[in-house]
Structure 1
Amino acid sequence: MTAIVDDVRTEALFVSDVQRSQEPTLEVIREAITAAVTRLGESGCAALVAQEFGEHPDCAIGRMRWARSAVRLAFAA
């Protein structure tokens, strides 16, 4: 179950307006994830991730790596 939750969080951060270059705090990351899921829903986030990988796979890979790492840090137990 945790892996699924992490995947949803990662996709939500990926589609958020938060940028790695902003060096967001863990709180900003958590807030961005909540806002994206509230605005788009889980399936909406997943659809936008798929679209981005289809249109810009070279950029999407790096952003996904960053999002996955940021989620792990923001929700470390």
Structure 2
Amino acid sequence: MNAVLDAVRTDALFLSHVQRSQRPSPEIIRAAVSDTVVRIGEARCAELVAQEFGEHPDCAPDRMRWARHAVSLAFR
């Protein structure tokens, strides 16, 4: 996979409403990524992720790890 595209998808999922506890399907993950990128934009996603890490350093890394793993499975 393309590393830049993976990063954008991961950021978008990180910012989406989808929660790990929902055990979302690949279809839900792909839809959430698409909706978030359309709504926020690629560059703004990166900015907001950085902001979340600054404001919530205790929980942001876990969500990012989950988002990275979920994206890798949903976009194989």
Shorter-chain TM-score above 0.5: yes
Q: 1:38-57 alignment to 2 at 5 Å?
A: 38-57=38-57
TM-score (norm 1): 0.96
The runs of at least 4 aligned residues of structure 1 exceeding 6 Å deviation read none
TM-score (norm 2): 0.97
Paired residue secondary structure (1:17): coil
Identity %: 66
Deviation of 1:44 (Å) = 1.2
Deviation of 1:6 (Å) = 0.1
Q: 1:19-30 alignment to 2 at 5 Å?
A: 19-30=19-30
Paired residue secondary structure (2:34): helix
Q: How many residues align?
A: 76
Higher share in helix: 1
Q: In structure 2, what is the Cα distance between the partners aligned to 1:18 and 1:48?
A: 16
- Note the residue ranges of structure 1 that are not aligned, 5 or more in a row: none
Deviation of 1:42 (Å) = 0.4
RMSD: 0.9
